[in-house]
Amino acid sequence: MVELREHEHRTLSVLARLGGKASVDKLVEKGLPDAAVMRAVMVLQEKKLVKVGESKRTVVRLNAEGKTYAEQGLPERHLMVALEELGGNAILDKLIEKTGLDRQLVPIALGWIRRKKWANFESQTGRLRMTGDLEEGADEKLIAVLNKKGSVELESLSVELRDASKLLRGRKLILVDEKTDRTVELTEAGRTAAKKHAGAAPEVTQLTPELIVSGKWRKASYQKYSIGAAVANTWPGKKHPYLQFLDDVKEKLVNLGFKEMVGTAVETAFFNYDALYTPQDHPARESFDIYFVKSPRYGSIDAASDVVVRNVKKTHEDGWRTGSTGWRYKYSVREARRLLLRGHGTCLSVRTLLKGLEVPGRYFSFARCYRPEVLDRTHLTEFNQVEGIVAEENLTLRDLLGILNTFAVEIAGAEKVRLKPDYYPFTEPSVELSAYSRKNGWVEFGGSGIFRPEVTMPLGVKVPVIAWGLGIDRLFMIRAGVEDIRDVFSKNLDWLRRQKVV
C-alpha cells in the first residue's frame, strides 16, 4: 500500500467523493486548508496518483483613476468636445479655461489627441485644429464595459478591446490580475489507492498533547520521516537585476578608461538646449515634450562664464565664428535661465566640456531623464540614459560606429545592429542605433553623432568630440529578454526570484 500522510489521505478521499476530479478551490471548500492542499497535491502528483491541469485567465478592472474617467470622460475627450463647440479651431489656453482641465493633464491629453488623429496642435500659435471625427475609441468602449461589469476576463473580449487593454494599462487606468485555475484529477493508480485507504486510519505526522493525554498515541499509526519530502522554496537576497546590470556596464566603461560625469536632475534651458545649439523656439521645448519647473521658474547659469553665454548667444543669432548662419532670431538670456527636468543626459556632457577636457578624454554618465511621453511597451515618462563623449584629435565617424556596435553586441547582447542617418541640432553627422533580438524585435536605443562646431567652439573646445545618448533601459530589455519596458522596474516577486544571481 502507498504510504500517505494525513492531508494526502484526506485529499484523495475528497477527490473520490467528488467523482475523481475537482478544482483546488473546491477541495478547499470541503474543509481542507489551502496550503496543505497544494502540498498534498504536489506529493500525490509525484506519486502519480493525481494529474494536475492548469488554465490561465486574465481579469481586468478599473482602478480609482479609471473609474473617475469612466464617470467624467478622458481628458482628451474633454478638450475635443470643447474644441468642437468652438468651431474646431481654438487657442489651447481658451480650451483649458473652458473645460477646467488640470494643467498637469494637458500634455497627456495633447499626446493622445495627436495619437488618435483628432486634431493638430500648432506650437507657434498655440492653436488646436480639429482634423478628424470624434468617434468613440476602443479604449473608451473598454472603460464603459469595465464600469458596467466591474471586471471581465481578458480572453472573453474582442481583439479590439484586448488591444485597448494594453493602452489603458500603459495609462495606469486598469488593474490586471493573472489568475491560474488548477484542476486535480485522480489517475487509475489514485482511484485504487483511494479505495484501499478508504477504511484505513490516517497516519499521524505530529505528536500532539491531545494524543498523549488521551492515550491514543499507543494505537496511532505514525508517518515515517522522509528526507526526500518536498519543502518550501527559499529565496536568497540579491541585488535587483537592473541595478546589477548598471553596475556591470559602469565597470566595463571604467575599465575602458571612461570617467563618470554627474549632475542634478533639475537643469536650465541653457545647458539642456542652448549650449547644444537647439533654438529657443524648437518644438522640443513645448509643454508636452518637456517638464518645466513651476516654482522657481528661473535658475542660475553662472557655471557658464559671460564670455561663453555671449558666444552661444551670437552663435544662435548669426553663427558667430563657426561658419554657420545661425538660427536668425533674437536670443533671450532670460529664457536660457528657465528651469526644467533634464530631457536627456547630454547636458552633463556640456558641463564637462565647460570644465575643461582632458585630451584625449573619455567620459560617461548614467542620467535619469524626464519627458511627458505616452506610456507604452517601449516608452516611460522617466527613463535612464547612458551618455558618453570622447574627445581626441582626428576622431571620425568610424570611431563612433565602432563604439555603438560594441554597446549593442557586448553590453546588450544584441543579435543584429542597425545604424542609420538621423538628425539632431547639435551633431553632424548623426546616427540612430537600433538592435535586434528574437524576443523583442528591432528596438531603437538612441542617437549619436559628432558635436557640431556650433556646440564645441562657443565652449572653447578645439578638438573633435563624438557623443552618444542611449536608452540603457532598452539595452537591459534585450539583455534580460524583457518585452515591456515597464517590467524593468517590476515589483513582480516571481520574476525577480527567477533572475540569476551574478
**Cell numbers representing residue 7 in the block:** 492531508
- Give the per-residue pLDDT at 279: 93
Write the DSSP string, 97-160: HHHT--GGGHHHHHHHHHHTTSEEEETTTTEEEE-S--PPPHHHHHHHHHHHHSEEEGGGS-HH
pLDDT in tens, 348-394: 999 999 987 888 899 999 999 998 877 777 778 888 999 989 999 88
Q: In what order do the strands lie in the sheet with 441-451?
A: 259-260, 361-370, 382-391, 465-471, 441-451, 427-437, 416-424
User: 260 falls in which pLDDT band (50, 70, 90)?
Assistant: very high
Q: Which helix (H) or strand (E) holds 114?
A: helix 106-115
User: 411 falls in which pLDDT band (50, 70, 90)?
Assistant: confident
Lowest-confidence range among 196-200, 308-312, 427-431, 486-490?
Answer: 196-200
pLDDT in tens, 261-296: 998 999 999 999 999 999 998 888 887 788 999 999
**∠ CA 127-131-136, rounded to 5°:** 115
Mean pLDDT of the chain: 85
Asked if the model's pLDDT at residue 198 lies above 70, the reply is no
Q: How far apart are the C-alpha atoms of 121 and 93, rounded to whole Å? A: 12
Residue 56 forms beta bridges with which residues?
180
Across residues 449-460, what is the average pLDDT? 94
Q: Which domains, ranges and CATH numbers included, belong to the chain?
A: 6-49+187-197+205-218 (no CATH), 64-177 (1.10.10), 242-497 (3.30.930.10)
- Give the per-residue pLDDT at 201: 58
- The share of the chain scoring above pLDDT 70, in percent, equals 95
Q: Which helix (H) or strand (E) holds 427?
A: strand 427-437
Say if residues 483 and 477 touch (Cβ distance below 8 Å): yes
**Cell numbers representing residue 163 in the block:** 488591444
Across residues 408-421, what is the average pLDDT? 80
- Helix or strand or coil: residue 446? strand
Lowest-confidence range among 53-62, 200-209, 247-256, 306-315?
Answer: 200-209
- Give the per-residue pLDDT at 44: 84
